[in-house]
Structure 1
Amino acid sequence: MIKLIAIDLDGTLLNNEKKITDRTKDALKKAKNQGVKIVLCTGRPLLGMVQYLDELNLREDEDYGITYNGGLVQRTKTGEVISEITMSKKDIESLYELSQTLEVPMNFIDLERVYSPAPPNGKPSLYGEIMKALPFVTSDIRSLPEDIKINKALFCIDQPILDAAINKIPCSFFENYTMMKSRPVLLEIMNKNVDKGKGLQALGQHLGIKQEEMMTFGDEENDLAMIEYAGWGVAMGNAIDKVKDAAQFITLTNEENGVAYAVEKFVINK
C-alpha cells in the first residue's frame, strides 16, 4: 500500500510551461484525501516551491517538503527542520578553487541567500535566470564566517562549457561530494551524504513509513537515488535513460499528465 508519494518538480510535476495541470491537481488531492502523504522533492529551497505547495494545499501542519536534493527535510508550514546535511567553509573554499581552475562560475546557497563569488573573466553564472526565490549577494570566500553552513554549491553555465568542465573534474571530488546535473546547464554539488533517496529515508524514519510504501516520480539524474530507494519508482516518459532503467514503471511525459496517470492507476483506482 502506498503511503507516501514524492515528486520532483521540473520535468515531472510541472509541464513545460512550469504549471501543474488541473488533472494532476485533482489526482494528488484525491490521493491526499485517502491519507497518502504528498511530498515535493526538489533541488530548490522551500521558498522556491511555495507557489506549488499552495496550489496543492500542501502547507498544513503535517505536510513536508524535501529540498536541496535531499539535504534538507522541512515542515512546509513552518519551515521547521526535520533533517539537514550541510557543507563547511572548507568545502566551499575547495570547490571555489576547483571552479577557478575549470574556468566556470560558482554560486553557493544557505537557507536565506545565494552567494556569488567573483566568476572567471567573461563567464558569469546563469543561475540568476533560474533562481528567483532567494536574494543574491556578492561574496568573498575568505570573509565567510568559519561556522557557516552551506546547503549546496553549483556551477551554472551554457551546457557545452559545463559538460566540458565536468569531464575535467578530478575523481577525488566525485568521491568527496555528491555531484549531479539537475538541468543541462546546472551541476549541483552537495555533501557526500546528500541525495533525494537519503532525504526520503530521513522523512520515512520520521513518519514511520517504509520504503516499500513509497512511490517516487522523477526525470533527471538528481532523481535517480529516490527512484532507486522507493518501493515503486516511476520514471516520466521524458526521463533520461538512467532513470527509466532504474524505475519499476515508466509513465507518460510531463506534457501528458504523467504524474496523474500513474497516481490514478496505482493509488486512486488500484
Structure 2
Amino acid sequence: MKTTSLIINERWRITKMFGKQLPYVMTDLDGTISNHDLSINPDTIKSIKKYQKASGYKLAFCTGRLDVCNLKIADDLNVQLPIISCNGTVITDLKTKEVLYADYLNYDKLLIILEKAVEIGLDILFYEPGRMGGNQDNPRVIMWIDFLKTIKKEKHKFEIITYKDSAELLKSYQRKEFSPVQIVFYFSEAKQHLISKLKELCDLYADDFVLAQSLTTMFNLTNKGANKLNGLKKWSEIVNTDYREVITFGDNGNDIQMIQGVNKGYAVGNAIDELKDVAYEVIEPIEANGVGKQLERILGK
C-alpha cells in the first residue's frame, strides 16, 4: 500500500508576517461557495479576494473533489496555501502540484468492495492524487470532461481516465494501475434504490473504511478516520497554526467534523440540518453570498 508522510515546508509559514492578524479560513466548495455548475457568485469571489489581500492570503479550501480539479479555482481565488482535497485524505501544493500528504486505501480490502459494487451495478469513480477515473457515461465524469473543455490554460488541465463500465475499471484496479485515496459512488435518479445496498456493503467493512455523503447523488469511501477535520489538523501542522482557530465553512454531511471541531465553524443557510445543529452559527445561503458576507463581517471587526 502506498503511503505519503506529511511534508512540512517553511514556505507555508511566512503568511503570518503579512497583513493584519486575521484568522486562517478553510471553506468547502460545492454547495458552500461553488454552485452545481461549478460557478462561483462574483460577489463571493470579490469578498474572498478582499480577504486574501487583507490577511496575507490565509484562505484555502477543503473539498471532496480531486486535488487537481481545483487548479483554476485556486488561481481565481488567489489561493497561495496548500489545499485539502478528497475529504481530508490529500493535501497538495497546487502551485507545484506537490502532494504533501496522502492517505491511500488498502488494496486488498478495497478490491473486495469494488468486486461486490460491480456485482450490484454501482457507478464507480476513483480519485488518486493528480488524476481521476470512472465510467465514460457517469454524469460526474461527463461533468468534469465538459469542464476541461472550458479550460484555456494548459496549467489548469488534469487527467481523466474513462472506462467502458465499472467492470473495466475493476480490471484496471486488479492490475494495480491506480492507487486511490477515495472512491466515489454516483447515484443517478434511476439508481437511488441502490444506496441502501452500498451502505449495507460498506457496513461490513466499517473497521477499515468510512462512507460519507457529499452530495445528494454522491457517496465517498475513504479510510476509517479520514475526514475533513483530520485533514485540517494535518494542514495546520504544515502552516504552523492551531486548527481550532481556523474558521471553517460547509454545507453537507462530509463537513460535520470540520465545522464541529473548530471554535468557529459556520454552516451556510442551504446546509443540511445535521450541520446547522453543530455549527457555531448559520449564515446566509450560497445564493446570497453567505461565505462572502461573513468574511466581510470578519474584516469589519
TM-score by length of 2: 0.78
CA contact (8 A) 1:3 1:36 kept: no
Question: What residue in structure 1 maps to residue 113 of structure 2?
Answer: 95
Q: Tell me if 1:39 matches 2:36.
A: no
CA positional deviation for 1:90: 1.2
Taking the aligned partners of 2:92 and 2:23, their CA distance within structure 1 comes to 18
Aligned to 1:268: 299
Rounded to whole Å, the distance in 2 between the matches of 1:22 and 1:126 is: 26
Which residues of 2 match residues 81-160 of structure 1 at below 5 A? 81-116=99-134, 125-132=138-145, 133-138=158-163, 139=169, 140=171, 141-144=173-176, 149-159=179-189, 160=192
Secondary structure, counterpart of 2:116 in structure 1: helix
**Which contiguous aligned blocks of 4+ residues in structure 1 show a shift greater than 4 angstroms?**
none
* 1:28 counterpart (48, 64, 70): 48
Could you say what the CA RMSD is over the residues aligned between the two structures, in angstroms?
2.3
Deviation at 1:176, TM superposition (A): 1.9
In the alignment of these two chains, the number of paired residues is: 259
1:18 alignment partner AA: L
Cα gap change, 1:170 to 1:128, in 2 (>3 Å): closer
Determine the structure 2 residue equivalent to 1:216.
248
Q: Is the contact made by 1:200 and 1:226 (CA closer than 8 Å) also made in structure 2? A: yes
Q: Which stretch of structure 1 is more off in the superposition, 198-207 or 43-52?
A: 43-52
Q: Which residue does 2:273 correspond to in 1?
A: 241
Given the superposition, is the C-alpha separation of residues 16 and 252 from structure 1 closer, same or farther in structure 2, using an over 3 Å criterion? farther
Return 195-204 or 105-114, whichever deviates more: 105-114
Say whether residues 1:4 and 2:24 are aligned partners: yes
Cα distance, 1:144–1:128 mapped onto 2, change above 3 Å: same
Could you tell me the percent identity over the aligned residues? Answer: 24
Q: Tell me how far apart the structure 1 counterparts of residues 285 and 37 of structure 2 sit (CA, whole Å).
A: 13
- CA offset digits 1:82-112 (Å, max 9, x no partner): 2211113213312212313433232322124
Secondary structure of 1:255's partner? Answer: helix
- Give the one of 229, 233, 257 matched to 2:289: 257
From the superposition, tell whether residues 135 and 66 of structure 1 become closer, same or farther in structure 2 (CA, over 3 Å): same
List gaps (5 residues or longer) in structure 1.
none
Q: How far has the Cα of 1:4 moved from its partner? A: 1.1
Mark the CA change 1:130 to 1:231 in structure 2 (over 3 Å): closer, same or farther.
farther
- Name the TM-score, length of structure 1 as normaliser: 0.87
Indicate if the aligned counterparts of 1:41 and 1:196 stay in contact, CA closer than 8 A.
yes
Deviations along 1:191-235, one digit per CA (max 9) or x if unpaired, are 113111111100111111112321111101111121112221000
| Distance across 2 between alignment mates of 1:211 and 1:149 | 29
Residue 174 of structure 1 is aligned with which of 206, 221, 226?
A: 206
Deviations 1:144-196 (A, max 9, x none): 25xx5311112112252343324433523233212111111111101113111
Residues 60 and 82, structure 2, Cα contact 8 Å, conserved in 1: yes
Q: Report if aligned partners of 2:90, 2:129 keep a CA contact under 8 Å in 1.
A: no
Q: Secondary structure at the match of 2:285?
A: coil
Task: Note if contact 1:108-1:154 (Cα within 8 Å) is conserved in structure 2.
Answer: yes
Question: In the alignment, is the contact (CA less than 8 A) between 1:3 and 1:35 conserved in 2?
Answer: no
Query: What is the rounded CA distance, in whole Å, between the counterparts of 2:58 and 2:109 in structure 1?
Result: 35
Write the distance in 2 (CA, Å) between the matches of 1:101 and 1:241.
Answer: 34
The answer to whether the Cα contact below 8 Å between 1:2 and 1:36 also exists between their aligned partners in 2 is: no
